[in-house]
Amino acid sequence: MKFTETKLKGCFILEPTVFEDERGYFFEAFNDQKFEQIIGSKSIFVQDNQSQSQYGVVRGLHMQTGEHGQAKLVRVLEGRVLDVAVDVRPGSATYGQYVEVELSAINKRQLYVPRGFLHGFSVLSENAVFFYKCDNHYHKVAEDGVHPLDRELGIDWQIPREEMILSVKDEEAQSFMVFKEKNGIG
């Protein structure tokens, strides 16, 4: 498995070594020893989540805060998405910057999103099944987020606005400016 650190420290793209033959394919999706060696700490995943979405769905930008913060290892089991991670770690040199990576059932890439990041994705295929491991349990009281179409962030979700499908929660999410003010960032 190949690990490539993105421009955001601690955020990695994982690309498996895929073994294919006439029967199909095999690859190692997760190995705790390799993961610990590259990430630099033991990450014990405690919760797996899976969602199915149709073309045009944009989910995010979400995070869990404080002691309930979550690191995630995300991948696509069916279809294709644009996955986005935004660094909101106080004091980070890349605060407010984001990375985007296409994850698909074909490329089998994964993205490791550390704690202290907003996360979201848009569905680029007719349907997508999205799977992610979390290193902490979900707690509703620790939810936070930013509107996915925030102008300051300026993320291109690769979906025309008139074709986007957002939840009511995401449509009503705060701006990045309000998020920064709430968190004491200038």
Q: What is the pLDDT of residue 36?
A: 85
Q: How many other CB atoms are there within 10 angstroms of residue 85's CB atom? A: 27
- pLDDT at position 41, please? 72
What's the CATH number where 87 sits?
Answer: 2.60.120.10
Q: Find, among 56, 107, 112, the residue nearest to 77 by Cα.
A: 107
Q: Is residue 168 part of a domain?
A: yes
Cβ proximity of 138 and 162 under 8 Å: no
In a domain, 163, yes or no: yes
Q: Mark out the alpha helices in 31-174 (DSSP H runs).
A: 32-39, 168-171
Number of domains making up the chain: 1
pLDDT at 186: 63
Q: Write down the pTM of the prediction.
A: 0.94
3 found inside a domain: no
Examine residue 99 and state whether it is found in any structural domain, yes or no. Answer: yes
Domain-embedded: residue 108:
yes
- Residues noted as catalytic: 62, 132
The reply to whether 38 falls in a domain is no
Please list the pLDDT of the chain residue by residue as tens digits (186 residues). Answer: 899 999 999 999 999 899 999 999 898 888 888 888 887 777 789 999 999 999 999 999 999 999 999 999 999 999 999 999 999 999 999 999 999 999 999 999 999 999 999 999 999 999 999 999 999 999 999 999 999 999 999 999 999 999 999 999 999 999 999 999 998 886
Output the pLDDT for position 26: 92
Phi-psi map region of 10: left, alpha, beta (phi>0 left; psi -120 to 50 alpha): left
Structural domain including 155 reads 45-182
Does residue 91 form part of some domain? yes
Separation CA 164–CA 3 (nearest Å): 32
